[in-house]
Chains A and B, each alone.
Chain A
Amino acid sequence: MRSRVRFLLFTSAYALFALALSYIEALLPVSALIPIPGFKLGMANIVIAHLLYTDKLQAFTVSLLKVALTALLFGTPTTFVYSFAGAVLSYFAMLAVFVSLGNKISGAGLCAVGGMFHNAGQLIVTSAMLGVNTALAYATPMLFSGIICGIALGAVLNLISERIRATLAHIYS
């Protein structure tokens, strides 16, 4: 019972952390610098990737909570469909890579996979809404930006993940 309470508490805390990161991201004027429609840094993915190392179910829960909360707070039904598809595909791609490669891969590789497949999920929605040709025309810039942002975020994750783990271990003990 105690561990279920702990799961609930930490899931909420991580979901809020992911939400705060996407809020900060929404404040940054990145779309003026990089003119790709739908371009985003995806900073919340740091949280999901970090959780993959510790608790896979928690990672998925946080991912879905983050999508639902951003849709309720800042989104529209359309952005919800896009981010939902991105989040689910990104999670399962990262899970597959993590399960097959384990500790041979660091956060940078993991987040690069997550970033690319997040955008791939959105491209699938784009092709359903606006036609396959439109999606194909945007595919490469979208996927490249996903990979590059993923590498950058993964590098950040590499720097902080051990410290987060150490701090949490300290709290648990």
Chain B
Amino acid sequence: MKKLTVTDIIVIVLLFALSSLPALHFLLSSQGGEYVIITSPDGESSYALNEDRSIELQSGEWLLSVEIKDSKVKVSKSNCPDRVCVHTGSISKDGSAIVCLPAQVTIEIYSGEEGHDAISG
């Protein structure tokens, strides 16, 4: 039977260090976003993050309720099978996103300084 070696532990620690780099970059550089972009098969729409509102999204057979409140966005209700989007919870920071794969919907937050087109190419 093979056992965990010292090399294993060194490699695993290195992997964890490498994996934390994106989060560090994200924490250091990101601030609260300014607007929300919702992309669905029907197209793209953008909303200001500081205005409270709720949006009903219909994508095929799936119905998503998106809520913007206190500069945070969340999917409050969805009838998609896995509900990953609902479990993601509230997002508020520049660059963060909620994704619903069955409904092909992404909800992303951007700030004014970097335009959406500059990021997604």
A75 at interface, CB cutoff 8 A: no
Contact with B along A133-148 (1 / 0, CB 8 A): 1101111100110110
Interface secondary structure of A, over-half rule: helix
Q: Which residues in B have their C-beta under 8 angstroms from that of A138?
A: 97
**B119 engages A132 (CB within 8 Å):** yes
Give the residues in chain A near B25, CB-CB below 8 Å: 136
| CB-based contact A106/B4 at 8 Å | yes
Residues of B3-44 at the interface with A, using a CB-CB cut-off of 8 Å, are 3-5, 7-9, 11-12, 15-16, 18-23, 25-26
Q: Which residues of B contact A8 (CB under 8 A)?
A: none
What are the residues of chain B within 8 A of A147 when measuring CB–CB? Answer: 12, 15-16, 19
Q: How far is the CA of A38 from the CA of B23 in the complex (A)?
A: 18
* Closest A residue by C-beta to B30: A137
B54 at interface by CB-CB < 8 Å: no
Nearest opposing residue in chain B for A105, CB measure: B7
**Is residue A95 within 8 Å, beta carbon to beta carbon, of the partner chain?**
no
Instruction: Evaluate contact between A116 and B15: CB separation under 8 angstroms.
Output: yes
What's the least CB distance linking A25 to chain B, in Å? Answer: 14
Interface size for chain A: under 10, 10 to 19, 20 to 34, or 35 or more residues?
Answer: 35 or more
Residues of B within 8 A of A161 (CB): 2
With A35-B84, A112-B15, A136-B26 already in contact, the answer to whether A107 and B97 are too (CB < 8 A) is: no
Does any Cβ of A come within 8 Å of B48's Cβ?
Answer: no
* C-alpha spacing A146/B16, complex, angstroms: 10
A162 to B19, CA, bound (A): 31
CA separation between A132 and B96, bound complex, in Å? 11
Question: Does chain B have a CB within 8 A of A149?
Answer: no
Interface residue? B45 (CB, 8 A): no
Q: A132 contacts which chain B residues (CB < 8 A)?
A: 119
Q: Which of A36, A104, A109, A130 contacts B106 (CB 8 A)?
A: A130
11 cross-chain CB contacts under 8 A: A35-B87, A37-B88, A106-B8, A109-B11, A130-B106, A133-B119, A136-B26, A137-B93, A139-B22, A143-B15, A155-B4
Binding site for B on A (CB under 8 A): 31-32, 35-38, 97, 101, 104-109, 112-113, 116, 130-134, 136-140, 143-144, 146-147, 151, 155, 157-159, 161-162
Residues of B at the A interface (CB closer than 8 Å) are 1-5, 7-9, 11-12, 15-16, 18-23, 25-26, 82-84, 87-89, 93-97, 99, 101, 106, 108, 110, 114, 119-121
9 A-B pairs with least C-beta separation: A35-B87, A139-B22, A143-B19, A109-B8, A140-B23, A131-B120, A133-B95, A158-B2, A104-B7
Contacts A104-B7, A133-B94, A139-B23 known; list 9 others, CB within 8 Å: A36-B84, A38-B101, A106-B8, A109-B11, A113-B11, A133-B95, A144-B19, A147-B15, A147-B19
